[in-house]
Structure 1
């Protein structure tokens, strides 16, 4: 499932499910997730644009058989327990003695990353599939556009715990309507499309709050913040 580059995201509430893609943002940076899904801010850069192109190819609904494996593209997913929802790029249904076992495949631009944001988003899809189909989903795969190869990801206890913890942390942010403060980290911030909106060097003020205070200062004839 791709980043929301085509329009403003709608902030989730307790009654609205959290987008699966938001978990990827939250692992990368919880503040980034809040800016996108709470403050409804978005900016494209080369990385997000390339991701959009890749997902336009992958996100076409339909199903087919490939080498005896049933594949479903653009499959809607949901998990009531964690209040998650989204669309899987591809879900393969592998045959086993007990029937078909879902195997999610997520398409990503670039190559495997040092952080686990992609893995958490994929694991969240697995948790959705487990609830929807009532069976264990032990693994999935990430397909990277740069390497043109799959990387299989086992949904072990550590990854499941990280996924659920991330979902809980993001749910708290959306419920309290509070954007976390910024903490500048060059390796992450430089690649973030929201760098200019986030302004991490300002010490943690939310982008929306910064805009409001600037408008208020101008209205009162004072210098901006």
Structure 2
């Protein structure tokens, strides 16, 4: 029987990295930790304690709960900075900041996860959120992300794709790729085995079709 539920913000990054990984984690509930994921978890533990800092022109909220009824997506933002802005009804404009433990160029997965936070904030506060930032814990620097129309479309499409996986309880077949070597779930995913099984099924199906 099909079912539907809300999508978590973290699921979007898994989805953009690999749909099979997203399904293994969020449908099959499989999770394995390696050095990279452990380092990221420890970094997030330092910023995931709820709290706030107030200044004259801004305030910072940590571990902010977010949600969108329209998109049926929810989760928690590492940091949301509220910047003074006289053009908004409340006098503040939210600015989401996502913390990542790595030194490399931004991926679509990073941008989509951050943009989803912005879409939640826009619905919650009734103001436009035009940009946010990814903070690299290794580099100790920010990378600004603009929430343009293309990124917003990609984000909403990704949310819908994740809803479909959850609703149908689907686990896509593995497709071996270089990124598999850096995935903590590789020992449980077994891309060589499952991809090989698919090739055998395709071969047998082609033979049956050709002989019929």
1:62 is matched with which residue? 51
Superposed CA RMSD in Å reads: 1.6
Instruction: Report the structure, 1 or 2, having the larger helix content.
Output: 2
Which of residues 191, 197, 220 is equivalent to 2:188? 197
Q: How far apart in 2 are the matches of 1:205 and 1:85?
A: 36
CA separation of 1:90 and 1:21: change in aligned 2, threshold 3 A: same
1:220 is matched with which residue? none
1:116 is matched with which residue? 108
1:215 is matched with which residue? none
Give 3-state SS (helix, strand or coil) of 1:57's partner. Answer: helix
Matched, 1:131 2:123: yes
Q: How far apart in 1 are the matches of 2:158 and 2:18?
A: 11
More RCO (CA 8 Å, sep 6+): 2
Matched, 1:44 2:36: no
Give the length in aligned residue pairs. 192
1:95 is matched with which residue? 84
Unpaired runs of at least 5, structure 1: 1-12, 207-225
2:69 is matched with which residue? 80
CA separation of 1:148 and 1:114: change in aligned 2, threshold 3 A: closer
Instruction: Give the TM-score of the pair, scaled to structure 1.
Output: 0.82
CA separation of 1:67 and 1:143: change in aligned 2, threshold 3 A: farther
Q: How far apart in 2 are the matches of 1:61 and 1:55?
A: 12
1:175 is matched with which residue? 167
Larger radius of gyration: 2
Whether the aligned pair in 1 keeps the contact of 2:176 and 2:195 (CA below 8 Å) is no
2:21 is matched with which residue? 32
Give 3-state SS (helix, strand or coil) of 2:182's partner. Answer: coil
Whether the aligned pair in 2 keeps the contact of 1:181 and 1:205 (CA below 8 Å) is no
Instruction: Give the TM-score of the pair, scaled to structure 2.
Output: 0.86
Q: How far apart in 2 are the matches of 1:196 and 1:128?
A: 35
Q: How far apart in 2 are the matches of 1:151 and 1:77?
A: 22
